Structure formats: structure tokens, C-alpha cells
Structure 1
Amino acid sequence: MTTKAPRGVRLVIALTGRRNAGKSSLINAITGQDIAIVSDHPGTTTDPVAKQYELLPIGPVTFYDTAGLDDEGELGELRIKATRKILWRSDVAVVVISEQGITEYEKTLIEEIKELEIPFIVVFNKCDIAPPTEKDIAYCQENNLQYRITSATTGTDVDAVKDAIIDIAPPEIKRDPVLAGDLINEGDWVVCVVPIDLAAPKGRLILPQVQVLREILDCDAIGITVKEREIDEALANLHRKPALVITDSQVVMSVAGDVPDDIPLTTFSTLFARYKGDLDLLVAGAEAIDQLEDGDTILMGEACSHHAVADDIGRVKIPRWLSQYTGKELQFEFYSGHDFPDDLERFKLAIHCGACMLNRTEMLRRIKECNRRGVPVTNYGVAISKLQGVLERVLKPFGLNS
């Protein structure tokens, strides 16, 4: 069973381990579908294979069948690198153990996963060929490791593996995520300001806007969608004040001027800053804008790869506004999709998009890594609101101050 849930709200589960441990067979057994090629030849899985699945009661998840981390040769190193990228953005890991049992290789892998603070389980696969030894079981028990014994080939205790994954899933995944639902009540009016510019997909709204509008409906509130030039007319024709106005960050300054101060106002990107990340840290990171100097390099992170248009928000508008605000000669480097630089220390500031195409784990890990390396990090919406002088106002609905 699959679902159309956005990629960025799916639990990501990575099956990892040495080659020929049965990762592909296990993911096929868990999902009940033959989506990964199975072979006795080591190294059959060359690139990560994604499978979307409905894992109840969690909901939509993505399983990744990864290449073996003991791959060999120059091409093997590239495959290992791709596997580690998947692991880096995973919510849950499944360490698949072959009939060889737990060796020093698996112990090193387990320590690596622990360092990433990823909840994981150890699965002894191929129990029909060779059950785990007493030594292997003792290792798991002595190190407080959750483990399951299964056979993907015969289907033995595959459901127990599913149950263990559900059990160790991060608490925030088990909770219903909230964008604006805690800011509004049933019957409230909510005005969404959606400019239609060159970057807007023809015939569609962008994902953050769609998700917020859906949540408004789920809360049994009334959503009104207007362009920025229509905000005055919309407010004038409402029978009562809206409980909230949510605007695209690109027009936040003009919308803030049109919306009376007694009406709560925020931005789609600010909602996503707390939905996918840590709003407090992203607000603190924006303060670094005031300390930028000539020659500083700014990291611009984009969760999705796209064709940049003339007024691209991340590649054109924010760099221009930053330069105008600071009066400094700044350098900008752009990283798209799941690419993120290893040499973070050379950046004076990281500015990330709303991360609608990333899961929360990956976004939080990026924030954590920036902070660990001493690099202030903020997101598009928070940065724009600061540059436009309205950050304090867009944070007010959350009880925060800039």
C-alpha cells in the first residue's frame, strides 16, 4: 500500500549492512513486493533503491535498500558514499546481519550509527541458514541493542521487524505534525497571501502553501487565498478579523504594511522553520547577518533542484537583499537537493530554504552540524523577515522575540 504523502513528511528507514546480508530480500519481505533485485552475488544493489510504503500506525514511510558498506574498488567507494548520504538523512536504521554474524565490521557500523544518533535495530537475517550465535546475542544484550531474528526468504518473524521499527521511530514522527494548527481554532478565518511570480509552478501552488491550506481545512477553519494586491480588499470584506494572516516571505514587507498590527501575521517559511527544524536556533542564526564582513561566504541551501529563473528567491533575491542590507561584498555558494558541503567551517552563515522536500531528521541534522561547526544557520523566511525589518512581528504568533 502506498500513499501520495509529500516526500518531506515521510519516515525514512535505511536498511544497511554488508553485501549479501539479505537487505534486498528483507525490504521485499517487509513491503510484500519485489521492488529490489535479489541475487546471491554480492554487490547486486549498486545504488540506493527507495520504496514508499504505508507502515501503520506511523503512516507513510520510505524504505531505502542500500549498497553494502563493505563494497570494494573505486566504484564501490562511490556506492558507499551514496549509502552514507542515505544514512545521514534517515530517521531509523536497520542493521542487517548475515549468516557471518556480528564481526568488527558490524560493530564499527553500529558505532557510526550511534554517533549520528539514529535509532536502530539489529536484524539477524537468514535464520533459516544460520541462527545467531550465543556470542552475537550476548553482544546485543550487553550493549542494550534491540534485535530481531528473521528470515526474509521464509518470512519468519518479518512482522516482528516491522513492530520494532514502529517502536523505535522518533516520537515527533508518531505525533501529528503541526504547521499552523495550534495557532487557529475551528471556524477561524485564515488569510493566505500567495503571490504568483515567475518561480510559481504553472497551474499549481508550491508545496508549503498546499500543506498549510490542507491543515486549515483539517482544523475546520476557513481559508481565503489571495494575491498580495488583493489583501486590502479581502480584509475589508471579511465580517470579522482573521485569526491569522500567512504570507509568502517574498512579499512580507508590503503585506505587513497592509495588515493591521492587531491581526497576527507570519509567513509560510517561518511555519516550516519550526515544522521541519528548530525555530529558536534559526532565529538566533539570523542575528549573524549583522556581523557579516566583506569577502564572507554564505552557504545557500536548497532542498530541491530546480531551474533558476530571473527572480529566483534563493539565488537572486536573498543575495541581493543581503548585500543591500549589509552594504558588504559577499560571496554565495549554492547547494541543492541532498548535497551539503563537508567543509562547513569556511562559511560565515548558512541560509536554508523551508525544507519542504526534506524530512525533519535531515533538516535538524543539518542545523545541528552547522552549530557543531560554529556556523550560524537560518532559513529563507526568517532571514527575509529580518532583512525587511518585520521579524519581530512574524514571530509574535509563536510567542517569540527576535
Structure 2
Amino acid sequence: MQETPKGDRLHIALFGRRNAGKSSMINALTGQDIALVSDVAGTTTDPVYKAMELLPVGPVMFIDTAGIDDVGELGALRVERTMQVLNKTDLALLVIDPATGVGDEEIALAAVVRERKIPLLAVINKADVSSAPLLDLTQWGKTLDCPIIVTSAVSGLGIEKLKQAIIQAAPDDWEGQPLIGDLLQPGDTVVMVVPIDLAAPKGRLILPQVQAIRDALDNDAICIVAKERELRSVIDNMKRPPRLVVTDSQEFLKVSADTPPDVWLTSFSILMARHKGDLSTLAAGAKAIDDLKPGDSVLVAEGCTHHRQADDIGRVKIPRWLRQRVGGDLDFTWVSGGDFPTDLSRYKLIIHCGSCMLNRRQMVYRLSVAREQNIPIVNYGVLIAWLHGILPRALRPFPLVASLFTDEQP
């Protein structure tokens, strides 16, 4: 990896009315002219993303959004897209022009942000040209029930103070649980099974594999990387068994057969389920797989928009396995990228990818929507392990989650 992936950055979104100075504020915070700035209201029509480093937080993703006061039919669609950004927002900045002050739009947005339990900072922009009395600024902070920082994106007034406020307001849990490091002790050996097939990107490994290797090394563990055909030979030649074997989920059955029963086994997808969301929810959803009947509707959600291979896991293999399991056809719907329906009522099951391209807040939001509508949800790794009858084993490294199951799994 040449840089921190988008899904592993703290997402900081800027909201506010048209011409409040959101784009100028992005430029001031990043120290770059990366957002289009104009005196014409409504210049930003779609969310714009900018990655940067903000120490000591580390890698962050700033999101510039359209105005919350946009008008007309097209404006309403822009506002809707702006509000959808909240699904992935870890920290919200509400940019306010003192000439217009705090109105219904700002109050409504602040209420939604609080309901979502997202940290919020109110940022007064254009302080260098404002004549608003200090009393008004103080009252605005009380009205919005959040800290307020006075700035000027043009002159740089208060920008360093705003950066410090962002650092202090950043939620402690935005990164989620470790990917693999907490499962290993220094000196432990982990074998990572990485198939090299048509779906493997030429010259590199896929993101979860790279991240797992790095996290293991950061925790002073020893990594051995092998293809599925070499796993048994690797283990046979080791002086002592590995602490853990991690495999691509599509090779679960062969890898399970070649891994000694007393060695922990799981998959990259299951590790991502714990790291990015809630493994308990995704594991519990597996029990709904055997309740599927021919004709049921199933939603398959993919966080990225990669080129589809002839035997694509989400669009070919999993549908084929499920049809074989239920003994008939199923009604599949696929969504990818940032798309995820808010009304899930027609679906009997949601199958999600490993979410390596989504940030944790976005994945947690999707899980919460499924829970609220009582629709079971699994991810690729959990589903494949269940279909192969080895999910309890694949969850053994996570005792609290494994307790949801017994060895009598069909």
C-alpha cells in the first residue's frame, strides 16, 4: 500500500449553507487549494473527498458537501446526498456564516448529528469580515449544543485552534477493534493462506491481506504466507504449530482439512467483520441462511466497484451455493459502492462483503439499519463458513461470538 486506504481514515465532514465557506475551510485545513471556491452559491454539488494527515490523529478524510439550504428539485437531491454523508461521518463540522447566523437548517442538522451520536463542532467562518457581536456567537453555541470555534478560512484566523478542537473531539473508537494483533503474542506464528487465481490482482495482494500482515508484524508476530496448495507442507515442516491460520474464505473447506484441529482458523473476511463492524451481529445472521426458501429476496452489498471476474464471489459463487442449498432459485439484488437501501423489508437476508473499502462508521450504520428492520445480515466469510459447516471453528478465536453456536451446526 502506498498510502492509508480511504476506509481506514477518520472521516470529517463539513456541513453548512451554500456559500458559508465549506470549500474554503477545507482548503485552509489541508493547506491546499483542492476544493473549488466561488462566490456563486451552490458551487459544490456532490460530496468531495480529500485525504490528508492530521497529527496526532493520523490519516483523515475531509468531505466537502453541498449546502443544506439548497433549493428546487435538483437542490433537494443534493441535500439528500449531503445527509447521506452522515452515514460515514466520524466527526461533523457545521460551518456558519455570521451574516446569516444559525437558523432552522443548522438546528435541524445539529439535531440529526446528535441523534446519530456523532461529535459536532460549530465553526464560525469569515470572522475577519464579520460584525456579529460576541454575544451572538456564544448564543449560537448554546443553541446548537456544541463547542464553537471562530475562524477565517481566508486569513487563517483560528485554523490551528480548529485543528486542535478536531483532535480533541475525534472519537476514541473510530478505528474499531484490531484486525489481528490482539489475537497474537510476540513470537507467535500466523500462516496466511493467499490464493493466486484470476481474481488476485497482478503484482500485489488484496487490501485485507496486506493489512493483516502489517498488523501481525506490528505486534511482533511471525508471518508465513502461502497458497492453499502449500499449506499442509508448511505446517508439516514447522517445529511447532502456528498460533493461527487465516485464509481467503473461498478456500475454507480445503484449509480447514489441512489445518490441525487444535490450531485456530479463521478468514480475512471474518477478521474484517470484527474490525469494521460487529461480528456478533454478522455471525448471528448466519442462522437465517437455512431458513431461506426458493423465491426469497436476497440483497448482496459490495463496498467497492471492482471489475467483475467470470467467477465473481458475490455475483456468481455465493448465489450458486445458496441456490444449491435451498434447492431452487432466489431473487438476488446487488448494490455496490456507497449505495445501500434504507427500506430492507423485502429481503430475507443481506449478504455483505468484507467492507475493506468502507470506514467503520458506514458499516456500523448499515448493520444498525438491518437490526432496526429485523433483517438478518451476514458477510462473505461468515456465510461461506456456515455453508461448509465450519463456522463454529472459524469463530473459535473469538469466544464470546463462538458461544452463539454449538458443534451441532447442520
State the AA in 2 paired with 1:14.
Answer: A
1:101-153 CA distance string (max 9 Å, x none) = 10112111212222333221111111122236634522422653121111111
Structure 1 residue 144 corresponds to structure 2 residue 145: yes
State the AA in 2 paired with 1:359.
Answer: N
Distance in 2 of aligned mates of 1:305 and 1:19: 31
Question: Hey, what does 1:199 align to over in structure 2?
Answer: 199
Q: For structure 1, which segment, 332-341 or 322-331, has the greater mean C-alpha deviation from structure 2 after superposition?
A: 322-331
The equivalences for 1:1-400 within 5 A come to 4-99=3-98, 100-130=100-130, 131=132, 134-141=135-142, 144-173=145-174, 177-399=177-399, 400=401
- In the TM superposition, residue 382 of structure 1 has moved relative to its aligned partner by 0.7
SS in 1 for 2:396: helix
With normalisation by structure 2, the TM-score equals 0.93
Distance in 2 of aligned mates of 1:103 and 1:307: 45
SS in 2 for 1:191: strand
- In the TM superposition, residue 304 of structure 1 has moved relative to its aligned partner by 0.3
- In the TM superposition, residue 207 of structure 1 has moved relative to its aligned partner by 0.6
Q: Contact 1:292/1:328 (CA < 8 Å) preserved in 2?
A: no
Aligned CA distance change for structure 1 residues 25 and 143 (closer, same or farther; 3 Å): closer
Distance in 2 of aligned mates of 1:60 and 1:132: 36
Distance in 2 of aligned mates of 1:195 and 1:390: 19
Q: For structure 1, which segment, 254-263 or 284-293, has the greater mean C-alpha deviation from structure 2 after superposition?
A: 284-293
State the AA in 1 paired with 2:160.
Answer: D
Q: Contact 2:180/2:215 (CA < 8 Å) preserved in 1?
A: yes
1:347-390 CA distance string (max 9 Å, x none) = 11111001000000000000011111111111110111011100
- In the TM superposition, residue 172 of structure 1 has moved relative to its aligned partner by 1.5
SS in 2 for 1:51: strand
Distance in 2 of aligned mates of 1:116 and 1:296: 32
Distance in 2 of aligned mates of 1:85 and 1:166: 24
Q: Contact 1:101/1:133 (CA < 8 Å) preserved in 2?
A: no
Q: Contact 2:193/2:228 (CA < 8 Å) preserved in 1?
A: yes
- In the TM superposition, residue 298 of structure 1 has moved relative to its aligned partner by 0.7
Structure 1 runs of 4+ with >6 Å offset:
none
- In the TM superposition, residue 197 of structure 1 has moved relative to its aligned partner by 2.1
Aligned CA distance change for structure 1 residues 345 and 240 (closer, same or farther; 3 Å): same
Aligned CA distance change for structure 1 residues 132 and 17 (closer, same or farther; 3 Å): farther
SS in 2 for 1:289: helix
1:35-57 CA distance string (max 9 Å, x none) = 11222221122222211110111
1:210-240 CA distance string (max 9 Å, x none) = 1111112212221111111111111111111
Which stretches in structure 2 are left out of the alignment for 5+ residues? 406-410
With normalisation by structure 1, the TM-score equals 0.95
Aligned CA distance change for structure 1 residues 132 and 106 (closer, same or farther; 3 Å): farther
Distance in 2 of aligned mates of 1:166 and 1:319: 44
Distance in 2 of aligned mates of 1:174 and 1:343: 28
Q: For structure 1, which segment, 180-189 or 82-91, has the greater mean C-alpha deviation from structure 2 after superposition?
A: 82-91
Distance in 2 of aligned mates of 1:307 and 1:28: 33
Q: Percent identity?
A: 53
Q: Contact 1:58/1:173 (CA < 8 Å) preserved in 2?
A: no
State the AA in 2 paired with 1:251.
Answer: E
SS in 2 for 1:60: strand
Distance in 2 of aligned mates of 1:194 and 1:32: 40
Distance in 2 of aligned mates of 1:288 and 1:17: 42
State the AA in 1 paired with 2:270.
Answer: T
Distance in 2 of aligned mates of 1:392 and 1:134: 61
Distance in 2 of aligned mates of 1:31 and 1:163: 14
Aligned CA distance change for structure 1 residues 143 and 102 (closer, same or farther; 3 Å): closer
SS in 2 for 1:172: coil
Q: For structure 1, which segment, 268-277 or 208-217, has the greater mean C-alpha deviation from structure 2 after superposition?
A: 208-217
Q: Contact 1:101/1:132 (CA < 8 Å) preserved in 2?
A: no
1:162-204 CA distance string (max 9 Å, x none) = 12212221211378x5111011111211111111222111121
- In the TM superposition, residue 342 of structure 1 has moved relative to its aligned partner by 2.5
Distance in 2 of aligned mates of 1:233 and 1:312: 29
SS in 2 for 1:266: strand
State the AA in 1 paired with 2:235.
Answer: L
Distance in 2 of aligned mates of 1:387 and 1:75: 45
Q: For structure 1, which segment, 139-148 or 271-280, has the greater mean C-alpha deviation from structure 2 after superposition?
A: 139-148
Number of aligned residue pairs: give it.
399
Distance in 2 of aligned mates of 1:174 and 1:180: 13
Distance in 1 of aligned mates of 2:140 and 2:151: 18
Q: Contact 2:45/2:78 (CA < 8 Å) preserved in 1?
A: yes
- In the TM superposition, residue 74 of structure 1 has moved relative to its aligned partner by 3.3
1:233-287 CA distance string (max 9 Å, x none) = 1111111110110011001011101111011111111100100010111111111
Distance in 1 of aligned mates of 2:171 and 2:315: 34
SS in 2 for 1:171: coil
Distance in 2 of aligned mates of 1:89 and 1:63: 11
CA RMSD for the aligned pairs?
Answer: 1.6
